Amino acid sequence: MSRLDHRLEPEGEVRRFEVITGALGRRRWSTDERARILEETLVPGAVVSEVARRHGLTPQQLFTWRREARKAAEAVPAFVPAVVTPEPVLAAEPPAASPRRKRRSRQHRRSAAIEIDVSGVKVTIENGASPATIAAVLGALKAGS
């Protein structure tokens, strides 16, 4: 060993190297394999670099997969429990004097509605609201949470 080589690699230092065998090229991971590996990184106390090494990946690749999974989860609408309550019973109406009045009372009768309770704030969207109104209310609630 020459004097120069000796200075580059001091005695006693252990260097890690990896031998790649088999076909070279990009490895394709199935969706199930990715999900299984990602689940390992989400276990409390898991170290991403150890999980990556165990599966022959780089930590950067796993972090990219995690970011992609997080974005995909945000794009999917989340479901919340829905509670169906019976329509409140209206008090008996006095007999109508004319048929015209009777028609109006039917129009004012309360019908189905959407009620959303978020952090103690109750939002009610009455029957007949346009889809644009419903989308705007839901968008505002999502932006505020």
DSSP 8-state class, residue 27: P
Does residue 128 register a pLDDT over 90? Answer: no
What pLDDT score was predicted for residue 5? 52
In this structure, is residue 131 part of a structural domain? yes
Please state the domain count of the chain: 2
**pLDDT average, residue stretch 86-105:** 59
In this structure, is residue 10 part of a structural domain? no
pLDDT in tens, 111-123: 667 788 777 778 8
Q: Is 38 exposed, middle or buried (0-12, 13-18, 19+ CB in 10 A)?
A: middle
Domain that holds residue 38: 28-73
Which tokens go with 122? 């109750």
In this structure, is residue 4 part of a structural domain? no
| pTM of the predicted model as reported, rounded to 2 decimal places | 0.40
What pLDDT score was predicted for residue 103? 52
Place of tokens 């008090």: 91
In this structure, is residue 18 part of a structural domain? no
Q: What is the per-residue burial (b if ≥16 Cβ within 10 Å, else e) of 95-124? A: eeeeeeeeeeeeeeeeeeeeeeeeeeeeee
- Non-local (6+) Cβ contacts of 58 within 8 A are 52
In this structure, is residue 20 part of a structural domain? no
In this structure, is residue 102 part of a structural domain? no
What pLDDT score was predicted for residue 122? 80
Cα atoms found within 13 Å of the Cα of residue 56, Cβ hemisphere only: 10
In this structure, is residue 100 part of a structural domain? no
Asked if 46 and 40 count as a contact pair (C-beta separation under 8 A), the reply is yes
Question: Phi/psi of residue 115, each to 5°?
Answer: -120, 130
Of 73, 103, 126, which marks where a domain is finished? Answer: 73
**pLDDT average, residue stretch 61-73:** 90
Asked if 102 and 96 count as a contact pair (C-beta separation under 8 A), the reply is yes
In this structure, is residue 128 part of a structural domain? yes
